Structure 1
Amino acid sequence: MDAKKTTNYISEYLQIVIGIILTSLGLKAFLLPNGFLDGGVTGIALLVRTQVDINMSYLLILFSIPFLILGYYTVSKRIVIKSIISILGVALFIHFENFQTITNDKLLISIFGGLLVGSGIGIAIRNGSVLDGSEILGVYLNDKFGVSIGKVVMFFNVILFSITAFVVSIEIAMYSILTYIIAAKVTDTVVEGFEDFIGVTIVSKKNDLIKIAIIEELGVGLTIYKGTSGFGSQGIAKDFDIIHSIINRIDIKKMYKIVQEIDPNAFIVEFDVNSVKGGVLRHYLNKKKNSKFLKLKESVNKKYA
């Protein structure tokens, strides 16, 4: 194993440890002392804990076992191994660490408990681990029956919170739903990143002018695809260039304005982007010193003069 792989390997497990600590803090300092629930397997363990006097650590491990066995046949062995280590880590932290209860305010418990648990789960997922078995169930049912993972997890938690309302109280169930929503949103944010980018695909007869304008006005890089003949409202189209770019969401209105001023009939497709690496996205093009760009601009202007 070379130095880079070793460093990445150590980094992954250090981040998983941070995720374990955050999740344990959210559970032990906020949710557990006040009988609040999260979603998934953790929620099942918390619910059972309100009814029987069994250590939360044991319940968490016990209810995770069936999902880890399912994961052995569903996801990669590496993920299962990391997940076993992570779940055992959370169980050990909950068992041995005596975090002090920080607040008794129910709204603060829901918010900060959800923030901590969601952050911990998100960090673990980013590093190839799962802290909640309901996600493994979602992957399995998606592969087997084509049901989306999100729907499986949501259905799982609807049942869980319905039981909570019946067994514990409607109020606790409502606060637990709030905790779950916050945790789920924070998990998504941590996994997908804080940067908010939009992917844009543009088809236009004036693609040359649009390329120049986007580079000049927004300073982002472009990828150009060669389009083949198709059939549209004006019959069979000629071959054309398709513009593809990634821009910050803040610049999306400006990009639309640029395209509309050049070609009001341009076809634009916009889509969300979760992660971006490399390219010229963060290192904006220097138009004044870029001689190749200036030559391109000059040739395009002559073409449309």
Structure 2
Amino acid sequence: MQILGIIFGSVIVAMAFNLFLIPHEILSSGLSGISMIFGILTPINTGIVNFLLNLPLLILGYLKLGRKFIIHTILSVTVISIGLYTVPVITMAHDIILSSIFGGVVAGIGIGIIFRCQGSSGGLDVIGMLIARKKDFPIGTMLTMMNAAIILISGLLFNWDTALYTMVSIFVTGKVVDAVYTHHEKLTLMIVTQKGEEMREHLLGNIYRGVTVFDGMGGFTNEKRKILMTVISRYELGVVKTLISEIDSSAFVNITETVEVMGLFHKPRV
């Protein structure tokens, strides 16, 4: 089901670009926006540029990030690139304001579906994950700066009206993604398992959050167990649930919403 969801979401993203944004020279965010610039200014197809720009990041991400996340991301980037290459560029709406809004909405729905299926559309998502593994860097600030650069390039190459329409599209896309899949919310997980050491190593090897381990004992059985506590973003919940079941499918897991996190939220640097 996750594979089908990623394919479906990626096709939606490609359609948003070719039917709403590209016909009016409205750009997307991140590497997709850079790909669209190349596609507009050169004879090179946007899909080919998108794939080539993402390829080195995907290789690096495969080596540094979780295998399943990167495989899903590679699938998404491939499907989006094929979609950009095969879906004809047609002006669905002649009003540029409507195109920027609806293009942002459709793209946001597609990206949100991809996130829900434990993948990403590549580009800045992979960069953010890589940086977060090395240092406590504010990913949101970095993404905002990168997108601001895309808007500035749009204004310099085309015109400032187009740049502002691009800003509208990026803003709408972000809001829709949050509505489809709210990854900014934090969750606290309490995992009770008899395979504590295996679970600890598996989680630390595949997510970039810290894990605290407590000793516990079953109230009815008096059997010793390990209790692992970690705080993650809602964005990571699907991945973490899969990781837990891979080690101990019978583990007891309590998931609660977290109001606020103080201190180092990312995995400590070694």
Task: Output the TM-score relative to the length of structure 1.
Answer: 0.58
Cα separation, 2, equivalents of 1:16 and 1:142: 24
What residue number does 2:121 align with?
131
Matched, 1:32 2:22: yes
Post-superposition CA distance 1:44-69 (Å, at most 9, x none): 10122222111111011011112212
Of 2, 11, 23, the residue aligned with 1:12 is 2
Which residue matches 1:116? Answer: 106
- Alpha-carbon offset, residue 13 of structure 1: 1.4
Query: Does structure 2 conserve the Cα–Cα contact (< 8 Å) formed by 1:122 and 1:190?
Result: yes
RCO higher in 1 or 2 (8 Å CA, sep ≥ 6)?
Answer: 2
SS of the aligned residue for 1:192 comes to coil
**Corresponding residue pairs, total:** 190
Show CA shifts across 1:273-292 (max 9, x none).
xxxxxxxxxxxxxxxxxxxx
User: How many Å separate the matches in 2 of 1:188 and 1:143?
Assistant: 23
User: What is the identity, as a one-letter code, of the residue corresponding to 2:17?
Assistant: L
How far, CA to CA, are the matches of 1:60 and 1:67 in structure 2?
A: 12
Instruction: Decide which of 150, 171, 194 is 2:161's aligned counterpart.
Output: 171
Paired residue for 2:12, among 10, 22, 29?
Answer: 22
Give the RMSD, CA atoms, in angstroms. 2.3
Q: What 5-or-longer segments of structure 1 have no aligned partner? A: 1-10, 197-269, 273-305
Alpha-carbon distance, 1:99 to partner: 5.9
CA offsets, 1:114-157, max 9 Å, x none?
Answer: 01111111100111111131011112222223112211111111
Q: TM-score, normalised by structure 2?
A: 0.65
Structure label with greater radius of gyration: 1
The superposition leaves residues 144-190 of structure 1 with CA deviations (integer Å, 9 ceiling, x where unpaired) of 23112211111111112112211221111110011001001111111
Match of residue 271, structure 1, among 249, 259, 262: 259
Mapped to 1, the partners of 2:147 and 2:22 lie a distance apart of 18
Please say if residues 13 and 80 of structure 2, whose CA atoms lie closer than 8 Å, have aligned partners that are also in contact: yes
Give the Cα–Cα distance (whole angstroms) in 2 for the partners of residues 70 and 187 of structure 1: 25
Alignment partners' CA distance in 1, 2:19 and 2:37: 17
Distance, in Å, in 1 between the alignment partners of 2:89 and 2:42 is 21
Q: Identity of paired residues, percent?
A: 26
**Which sections of structure 2, spanning at least 5 residues, go unmatched?**
186-257, 261-270
* Partner deviation per Cα, 1:86-107 (whole Å, 9 max, x = no partner): 1111111222233642111111
Question: Per-residue deviation at 1:191?
Answer: 1.2
Supply the distance in 2 between the matched residues of 1:93 and 1:25 (Cα, whole angstroms): 7
